[in-house]
Structure 1
């Protein structure tokens, strides 16, 4: 039964206890380097950028956290909504062998993540980890901090942004801004894949091409 909380002048709300809290965050495919030099690729949605630093929330049992704790090179590949099927092919895979206890029975080991997902690796320009050619935005970065959170099983990784690549159709003429109208990010909403609608407006701080002084 819903335990309602009455809000003055508004609809009532319910107190719930969701198994996950992903109200709507972009899907990022994180590429990293395994101990043997091969590439690992993993989907995630707990990624935020503040200034020139990306902050990632990762499970500590996964291959990605192990890789980033050992070697700093990585690429954050932002998936478009058209790539959701490739992302889902990656979802049940792990680069760890054997499969970690917390993932046993649900995940399977796969060393060729790119091949399994049908994605194309492209060499990074300033890091050893590969980029994903199909992802419209690719951010090369280097880990500056990797630590275990106070919450069991959660790792927090800080990544310095080094170089940003975008598909040509997303690059504004000034080569500083992304053509927002053409960017269709894949969002992860309570374990569902969702696209975005038309632009609703822009913040007063936006400096996209339409608002850049000529």
Structure 2
């Protein structure tokens, strides 16, 4: 007689087609270099890091992509949850003039001075021309290595960057070169809503303390 297998309860699922797949990724305030040698700020929510390579997803009609095609430097500023309102103040604006029809139809308007409308503070970078955002606990100076437009999604650009210099607020630094995960919480964009991290659950076997 075969042993009885434990009963497994399978959650009910449903096939869905969300309009967007922002399933919970960190917000990045991407700073790029304008033609007049000022800095543009673009809030983005599509990025991932592999070592010191950070891949970004950008819309092809935005000022950020236009700027990095012309000048291949940028700063990736990572806000914490306390900055969500400043991030949202930037959301309805574009640095592109005239405003593309696709953006205008979604309610975007032109704004040149993103620092003023957001209330964020500009700080000089060390290795690149675009400035940093002082309030963001992590600020990554980077250069653009590759830009690709997917054939199946020509409205987006996949941008590979190499991080050259990392600035971190002292309060989140552990020892000399480690970011303390107990003190650093990224601002998450979760299906067009803002969230912070919850309580820590545990750590990976490779985590250092």
TM-score higher than 0.5:
yes
Give, in angstroms, the shift of residue 160 of structure 1. 0.3
- The aligned counterpart of 1:43 is 43
Deviations 1:136-178 (A, max 9, x none): 00011000112222212101111001011110101112x2100
Separation of aligned partners in 2, 1:68 and 1:27: 19
Contact 1:68 1:146 in 2 (8 A): no
In 1, Cα distance between equivalents of 2:132 and 2:150? 28
Equivalence for 2:201: 200
Q: Give the gaps of 5 or more residues in structure 1.
A: 1-7
Larger mean CA deviation between 175-184 and 119-128 belongs to 175-184
Q: Whole-Å Cα distance in 2 between the matches of residues 13 and 122 of structure 1?
A: 48
Residues in 1 aligned to 2:86 and 2:150: alpha-carbon distance in whole angstroms: 30
Structure 2 unmatched runs, 5+: 1-7
Give, in whole Å, the separation in 2 of the partners of 1:152 and 1:56: 15
TM-score normalised per structure 2:
0.93
Deviation at 1:39, TM superposition (A): 0.8
- Name the structure 1 match of 2:161: 159
Instruction: Give 2:136's aligned residue.
Output: 135
RMSD of equivalent CA atoms = 1.0
For residues 4-42 of structure 1, what are the alpha-carbon distances to aligned partners after superposition, in whole Å with 9 as ceiling and x for unaligned?
Answer: xxxx63111011110000111000000010122111001
Report the Cα distance in structure 1 between the residues aligned to 2:71 and 2:187, rounded to whole angstroms.
28
1:76 counterpart SS class: strand
- Whether 2:48 is the aligned partner of 1:52: answer no
SS in 2 for 1:203: coil
Displacement, 1:179? 1.1
- 1:157 partner SS: strand
Q: Is the contact made by 1:29 and 1:41 (CA closer than 8 Å) also made in structure 2?
A: yes
Instruction: Provide the C-alpha distance between the structure 2 equivalents of 1:11 and 1:179, rounded to a whole number of angstroms.
Output: 36
Paired position in structure 2 for 1:3: none
Deviation at 1:70, TM superposition (A): 1.2
Q: Distance in 2 between matches of 1:145 and 1:97?
A: 25
Q: Helix, strand or coil for the counterpart of 1:182?
A: coil
Question: For the residues of structure 2 that align with 1:135 and 1:170, how far apart are their CA atoms?
Answer: 11
Moved over 4 A (4+): none
Match of 2:192 in 1: 191
Residue 118 (structure 1) aligned with residue 119 (structure 2): yes
Contact 1:60 1:155 in 2 (8 A): yes
